[in-house]
Amino acid sequence: MVGIRDVAEAAGVSVSTVSQVVTGRRPVAAATRARVEAAITRLGYRAHPGASQLRGGRTGTIALIVPTLENPFYPLVAVGMQDVLVPRNILLTVTDASGMDRSASAIHRLLSRRVDAMVAAPFGLPESSLAELHDAGIPFVSLGKAPPGGGDFVHTDDVSGAREVTTHLIERGRRRIAFLGGEESVVPTQQRLEGYQAALRAAGLPVRGDDVVFEEYTREGGRKGAATLLDRDDRPDAIVAANDLIALGVLDATRARGLRVPDDVAVTGYDDIEAASLVSPPLTTIENPAREIGRACARLLLERLDGMVTDVARTVALSTRLIVRDSS
């Protein structure tokens, strides 16, 4: 294990000079620097990150916490962050928070002081846990849910997106439109529901409580919810699914029942993951710019790390877009 001491010796300088060369926080004479750098290369020296961090340095790592990696939306957010982070030589660490819900502080314990900054999509996380993230004393960006105490925040307008897709269905002549959400408690569900209801009201259509069902944000959730909605006597003529995964499950259910989409029932999704355009029939959905969202998060964080921002909380709102395909 080659330490800074070895490099110093090899280069014939002091330990502190080596450190200065490495960190660049103080100027070093060109000749000396060259000698030190040569020694570093020759010995293959790398600073021990633990020690660096201990003495007050950065970890050079940014964390992304997502509710699940099974929804392809989130890997894409990670890719977007990479776009910004890789040129800056910062390591991105992606953590799937599914399965670590119980202990409210699991995430904090795992990440505190282990990263320089953090972005989290805090759905399903208890409020206390979110507060902890916010108070961890490092730059933090919340994804899709306004942080309780205020703070940086990247999102798309779920209300307007859901309103847009619902309105589209109404314009296509649908009158009995159901909403199939994921977990009821999470913010995007509530906002998409709100947009759906707003569209109904604006069109003068009744807002019926039994036309709203909540399951999970998975394909399986979609199958289950669709079963509830479709096996009734007066089934809806359209289903607004709260995301594409759910919509895929709805399509499974229609297929299993021999229902034609969109003739018997129209289906719409949300996010525009790749599968949305592939499934048959292709899904009408709302494009949610995952990669761009990732980029925005990373940029926000970087600006804080660079000290360009003081303490004003910033919100980045990215726009969504209705994509009409055959399912409606």
Q: Is 275 exposed, middle or buried (0-12, 13-18, 19+ CB in 10 A)?
A: middle
Nearer to a second copy, 91 or 309 (CB): 91
Instruction: Examine residue 81 and tell whether it contacts DNA (CB under 7 A).
Output: no
76 makes contact, choosing from a second copy, DNA, none, with CB < 5 to 8 Å by partner type, with a second copy
Nearer to a second copy, 94 or 205 (CB): 94
Stretch of 6-14, 120-128, 137-145, 183-191 lying at the interface with DNA (CB under 7 A): 6-14
20 makes contact, choosing from DNA, a second copy, none, with CB < 5 to 8 Å by partner type, with DNA
Q: Could you tell me the smallest distance in angstroms from the CB atom of residue 256 to a second copy? A: 14
| Residue 85 near residue 62, CB atoms below 8 Å | yes
What are the φ and ψ backbone dihedral angles of 318, each rounded to 5 degrees?
Answer: -100, 150
Distance CA 156, CA 317 (A): 5
| Element at 327 (helix H, strand E) | none
Instruction: Examine residue 323 and tell whether it contacts DNA (CB under 7 A).
Output: no
According to CB under 7 A, which residues from 56 to 75 bind DNA? 56-57
Strand partners, 63: 93, 118
Three-state SS for 66? Answer: strand
Instruction: Examine residue 111 and tell whether it contacts DNA (CB under 7 A).
Output: no
Stretch of 19-27, 121-129, 133-141, 157-165 lying at the interface with DNA (CB under 7 A): 19-27
28 makes contact, choosing from a second copy, DNA, none, with CB < 5 to 8 Å by partner type, with DNA
Number of Cβ within 10 Å of residue 22's Cβ equals 18
Q: Could you tell me the smallest distance in angstroms from the CB atom of residue 120 to a second copy? A: 14
Q: Could you tell me the smallest distance in angstroms from the CB atom of residue 312 to a second copy? A: 25
Angle at 101 (CA atoms; ends 100, 102), nearest 5 degrees: 100
DSSP codes of every residue in 186-252: SHHHHHHHHHHHHHHHHTT----GGGEEE--SSHHHHHHHHHHHHTSSS--SEEEESSHHHHHHHHH
Report DSSP state, residue 317: E
Select the residue interacting with DNA from 10, 28, 119, 199 (CB under 7 A).
28
Instruction: Examine residue 14 and tell whether it contacts DNA (CB under 7 A).
Output: yes
What are the φ and ψ backbone dihedral angles of 289, each rounded to 5 degrees?
Answer: -75, 75
Nearer to DNA, 17 or 82 (CB): 17
Cα–Cα distances (Å) from 120 to 52, 132, 186, 223, in that order, read 26, 12, 14, 28
Question: Which residue type is seen at 93?
Answer: T
Instruction: Examine residue 29 and tell whether it contacts DNA (CB under 7 A).
Output: yes
Q: Contact letters (x/-) for DNA, 38-57, by CB under 7 A? A: -------xxxx--xx-xxxx
15 makes contact, choosing from a second copy, DNA, none, with CB < 5 to 8 Å by partner type, with DNA
260 makes contact, choosing from DNA, a second copy, none, with CB < 5 to 8 Å by partner type, with none
Binding stretches for a second copy (CB under 8 A): 46, 48-54, 59-61, 68-70, 72, 74-76, 78-79, 82-83, 86, 89, 91-96, 98-100, 106, 109-114, 248, 274-275, 278-280
Nearer to a second copy, 7 or 162 (CB): 7
Distance CA 4, CA 260 (A): 69
Stretch of 26-34, 59-67, 225-233, 307-315 lying at the interface with DNA (CB under 7 A): 26-34
Strand partners, 143: 154
Q: Which residues bind DNA (CB under 7 A)?
A: 1, 3-5, 12-20, 22-23, 25-29, 31-32, 45-48, 51-52, 54-57
